[in-house]
Amino acid sequence: MVEPRARDLWVGLFLLIGCGAIAFLSVSVGGSTYRGPRGLELFVTFDQVGGLKPRAPVVIGGVKVGQVKSIGLDEELRARVGIDVDGNLRLSTDTSASILTAGVLGDQYIELTPGGEEATLGPGDEIEFKQDAFVLERLIGRLVQSLGNEDGKGKEEEE
């Protein structure tokens, strides 16, 4: 038979490992990670960000190179997005940023397309070339409105 003191030690150790595993999974699922020192912080100003959220991935060619750090409004009431990308990247000044959707109704992310200029972006620089988010609800609303207008014209012509 196992001594009560040894049994208590094993039960305590098991509980400690279990609590550590739960804490690790909680942080992992929540998306919080430590990546060491910050990378290169850049900004992009969009007219429409759709459902883009902080911590959304930033990719180049399908490879994650960073994440969305912040989303706010600038002085002109346009969406200003701060992104944190790998500091080892050398992105040219004519790099473009697009907000895309993963799948038909998936989460949104930012895709960077590097340009060909020799000059590179530095910390705090603004990406000038951008493409706003495609908002499916807005397209459906326009389609319904245009169908409604066509029906209305037909009825007026008959009277």
Q: Is residue 73 part of a domain?
A: yes
For residue 127, the enclosing domain spans 40-140
* pLDDT tens per residue across span 103-113: 777 788 999 99
* pLDDT tens per residue across span 126-152: 999 988 877 777 778 888 888 887 765
Q: Cα-atom radius of gyration of the chain, to the nearest Å?
A: 25
Q: Is the pLDDT of residue 156 over 60?
A: no
* pLDDT tens per residue across span 64-78: 999 999 999 999 999
pLDDT score of 18? 94
Same domain, 134 and 81: yes
Q: Is residue 157 part of a domain?
A: no
Measuring CA to CA, which residue among 100, 95, 101 is closest to residue 128? 95
Same domain, 23 and 66: no
* pLDDT tens per residue across span 21-75: 998 888 877 666 555 556 889 999 999 888 899 989 999 998 999 999 999 999 9
Q: Is residue 12 part of a domain?
A: yes
Q: Is residue 152 part of a domain?
A: no
Report DSSP state, residue 47: S
Same domain, 28 and 67: no
Q: Is residue 148 part of a domain?
A: no
Q: Is residue 70 part of a domain?
A: yes
pLDDT score of 45? 94
C-beta separation of 52 from 110 below 8 A: yes
C-beta separation of 97 from 112 below 8 A: yes
Q: Is residue 147 part of a domain?
A: no
Same domain, 51 and 73: yes
Higher local confidence (pLDDT), 154 or 46: 46
What is this structure's pTM? 0.67
pLDDT band at 95; cut points 50, 70, 90: very high
